Amino acid sequence: MKELLNSLGIDIKLLIFQIFNFFILFFILYKFLSKPLNSIINERKAQIEEGFKKYEEALSLIKKINKIKKKILAKAEKEKERILFEAQEEKNLILQKALIEAQIEKDKAKSRLKKELETEKQNFLNQVEKDSVELFFSLAKKIFNRSDLDKDYIKKILANK
Protein backbone atom coordinates (compact mmCIF):
# COMPACT_ATOMS: atom_id res chain seq x y z
CA MET A 1 0.00 0.00 0.00
CA LYS A 2 2.93 2.24 0.71
CA GLU A 3 4.16 1.58 -2.77
CA LEU A 4 0.80 2.35 -4.30
CA LEU A 5 0.61 5.68 -2.48
CA ASN A 6 4.21 6.47 -3.45
CA SER A 7 3.47 5.65 -7.07
CA LEU A 8 0.61 8.15 -6.94
CA GLY A 9 2.87 10.76 -5.42
CA ILE A 10 1.25 10.75 -1.99
CA ASP A 11 3.46 10.93 1.08
CA ILE A 12 1.82 9.12 3.98
CA LYS A 13 3.45 11.28 6.65
CA LEU A 14 2.37 14.39 4.88
CA LEU A 15 -1.16 13.04 4.48
CA ILE A 16 -1.40 12.22 8.20
CA PHE A 17 0.01 15.65 9.04
CA GLN A 18 -2.58 17.33 6.74
CA ILE A 19 -5.42 15.30 8.28
CA PHE A 20 -4.19 16.27 11.75
CA ASN A 21 -3.99 19.96 10.65
CA PHE A 22 -7.47 19.74 9.21
CA PHE A 23 -8.91 18.48 12.50
CA ILE A 24 -7.04 21.14 14.46
CA LEU A 25 -8.33 23.82 12.10
CA PHE A 26 -11.80 22.35 12.30
CA PHE A 27 -11.66 22.29 16.11
CA ILE A 28 -10.42 25.91 16.28
CA LEU A 29 -13.00 27.13 13.83
CA TYR A 30 -15.70 25.19 15.64
CA LYS A 31 -14.62 26.45 19.03
CA PHE A 32 -14.26 30.13 18.11
CA LEU A 33 -16.61 30.65 15.14
CA SER A 34 -19.52 28.31 15.71
CA LYS A 35 -20.95 30.13 18.72
CA PRO A 36 -20.79 33.62 17.16
CA LEU A 37 -22.08 32.29 13.83
CA ASN A 38 -24.89 30.40 15.58
CA SER A 39 -25.82 33.49 17.57
CA ILE A 40 -25.83 35.63 14.39
CA ILE A 41 -27.90 33.00 12.60
CA ASN A 42 -30.29 32.70 15.55
CA GLU A 43 -30.62 36.50 15.79
CA ARG A 44 -31.33 36.73 12.08
CA LYS A 45 -33.81 33.87 12.34
CA ALA A 46 -35.54 35.65 15.26
CA GLN A 47 -35.67 38.89 13.24
CA ILE A 48 -37.21 37.06 10.30
CA GLU A 49 -39.78 35.38 12.55
CA GLU A 50 -40.56 38.76 14.15
CA GLY A 51 -40.97 40.23 10.67
CA PHE A 52 -43.42 37.46 9.75
CA LYS A 53 -45.37 38.06 12.97
CA LYS A 54 -45.52 41.79 12.25
CA TYR A 55 -46.56 41.05 8.66
CA GLU A 56 -49.38 38.79 9.88
CA GLU A 57 -50.43 41.43 12.44
CA ALA A 58 -50.39 44.08 9.70
CA LEU A 59 -52.54 41.87 7.44
CA SER A 60 -54.96 41.29 10.29
CA LEU A 61 -55.04 45.03 11.02
CA ILE A 62 -55.60 45.82 7.32
CA LYS A 63 -58.54 43.38 7.23
CA LYS A 64 -60.03 45.05 10.32
CA ILE A 65 -59.50 48.49 8.80
CA ASN A 66 -61.17 47.38 5.57
CA LYS A 67 -64.17 46.06 7.52
CA ILE A 68 -64.43 49.34 9.43
CA LYS A 69 -64.02 51.27 6.18
CA LYS A 70 -66.87 49.29 4.58
CA LYS A 71 -69.09 49.96 7.59
CA ILE A 72 -68.27 53.67 7.51
CA LEU A 73 -68.89 53.86 3.76
CA ALA A 74 -72.22 52.04 4.14
CA LYS A 75 -73.20 54.40 6.96
CA ALA A 76 -72.13 57.40 4.87
CA GLU A 77 -74.14 56.11 1.91
CA LYS A 78 -77.23 55.75 4.10
CA GLU A 79 -76.67 59.25 5.50
CA LYS A 80 -76.26 60.61 1.97
CA GLU A 81 -79.51 58.99 0.88
CA ARG A 82 -81.29 60.35 3.97
CA ILE A 83 -79.96 63.87 3.34
CA LEU A 84 -80.92 63.68 -0.34
CA PHE A 85 -84.41 62.47 0.59
CA GLU A 86 -84.81 65.29 3.11
CA ALA A 87 -83.54 67.82 0.57
CA GLN A 88 -86.01 66.47 -2.01
CA GLU A 89 -88.86 66.73 0.51
CA GLU A 90 -87.81 70.28 1.43
CA LYS A 91 -87.59 71.20 -2.26
CA ASN A 92 -91.08 69.81 -2.82
CA LEU A 93 -92.42 71.80 0.14
CA ILE A 94 -90.77 74.98 -1.10
CA LEU A 95 -92.15 74.39 -4.61
CA GLN A 96 -95.66 73.80 -3.24
CA LYS A 97 -95.40 76.93 -1.11
CA ALA A 98 -94.14 78.93 -4.10
CA LEU A 99 -96.97 77.58 -6.28
CA ILE A 100 -99.54 78.52 -3.66
CA GLU A 101 -98.02 82.00 -3.30
CA ALA A 102 -97.92 82.38 -7.08
CA GLN A 103 -101.57 81.32 -7.30
CA ILE A 104 -102.48 83.87 -4.61
CA GLU A 105 -100.50 86.59 -6.42
CA LYS A 106 -102.15 85.59 -9.70
CA ASP A 107 -105.59 85.80 -8.11
CA LYS A 108 -104.75 89.19 -6.55
CA ALA A 109 -103.43 90.49 -9.88
CA LYS A 110 -106.48 89.14 -11.68
CA SER A 111 -108.77 90.81 -9.16
CA ARG A 112 -106.82 94.07 -9.35
CA LEU A 113 -106.90 93.95 -13.16
CA LYS A 114 -110.66 93.30 -13.14
CA LYS A 115 -111.13 96.33 -10.90
CA GLU A 116 -108.89 98.44 -13.10
CA LEU A 117 -110.68 97.18 -16.19
CA GLU A 118 -114.06 97.96 -14.62
CA THR A 119 -112.81 101.42 -13.65
CA GLU A 120 -111.45 102.01 -17.15
CA LYS A 121 -114.70 100.74 -18.63
CA GLN A 122 -116.70 103.09 -16.42
CA ASN A 123 -114.39 106.00 -17.28
CA PHE A 124 -114.71 105.15 -20.94
CA LEU A 125 -118.50 104.96 -20.73
CA ASN A 126 -118.62 108.27 -18.86
CA GLN A 127 -116.38 109.86 -21.47
CA VAL A 128 -118.47 108.35 -24.29
CA GLU A 129 -121.65 109.63 -22.65
CA LYS A 130 -120.13 113.07 -22.22
CA ASP A 131 -118.81 113.09 -25.77
CA SER A 132 -122.06 111.67 -27.18
CA VAL A 133 -124.04 114.51 -25.64
CA GLU A 134 -121.68 116.97 -27.25
CA LEU A 135 -121.81 115.07 -30.52
CA PHE A 136 -125.59 114.80 -30.56
CA PHE A 137 -125.89 118.42 -29.58
CA SER A 138 -123.67 119.47 -32.41
CA LEU A 139 -125.48 117.16 -34.85
CA ALA A 140 -128.85 118.45 -33.73
CA LYS A 141 -127.72 122.02 -34.27
CA LYS A 142 -126.58 121.19 -37.76
CA ILE A 143 -129.56 119.01 -38.67
CA PHE A 144 -132.17 121.30 -37.33
CA ASN A 145 -130.15 124.33 -38.14
CA ARG A 146 -130.95 125.80 -34.75
CA SER A 147 -128.57 127.40 -32.35
CA ASP A 148 -131.01 127.62 -29.44
CA LEU A 149 -131.14 123.92 -28.60
CA ASP A 150 -130.59 123.13 -24.96
CA LYS A 151 -127.91 120.69 -23.83
CA ASP A 152 -129.90 119.71 -20.76
CA TYR A 153 -132.85 118.69 -22.90
CA ILE A 154 -130.61 116.39 -25.01
CA LYS A 155 -129.11 114.90 -21.83
CA LYS A 156 -132.65 114.08 -20.61
CA ILE A 157 -133.50 112.43 -23.89
CA LEU A 158 -130.33 110.34 -23.80
CA ALA A 159 -130.85 109.42 -20.14
CA ASN A 160 -134.41 108.12 -20.82
CA LYS A 161 -133.41 105.70 -23.54
**36 located within any domain:** yes
Domain count, the chain: 1
What's the pLDDT at 67?
Answer: 97
**2 located within any domain:** no
**67 located within any domain:** yes
Taking only the tens of pLDDT, the chain with its 161 residues reads 677 767 777 777 888 999 999 999 999 988 888 888 889 999 999 999 999 999 999 999 999 999 999 999 999 999 999 999 999 999 999 999 999 999 999 999 999 999 999 999 999 988 888 787 778 777 777 777 666 666 666 666 666 65
The closest alpha carbon to 115, from 104, 100, 107, belongs to 107
What's the pLDDT at 153?
Answer: 66
What's the pLDDT at 147?
Answer: 60
Distance between CA 160 and CA 70 in Å, rounded?
Answer: 93
Does the pTM surpass 0.75? The reply is no
Distance between CA 14 and CA 89 in Å, rounded?
Answer: 105
What's the pLDDT at 131?
Answer: 82
For residue 147, give its domain range: 31-160
What's the pLDDT at 145?
Answer: 65
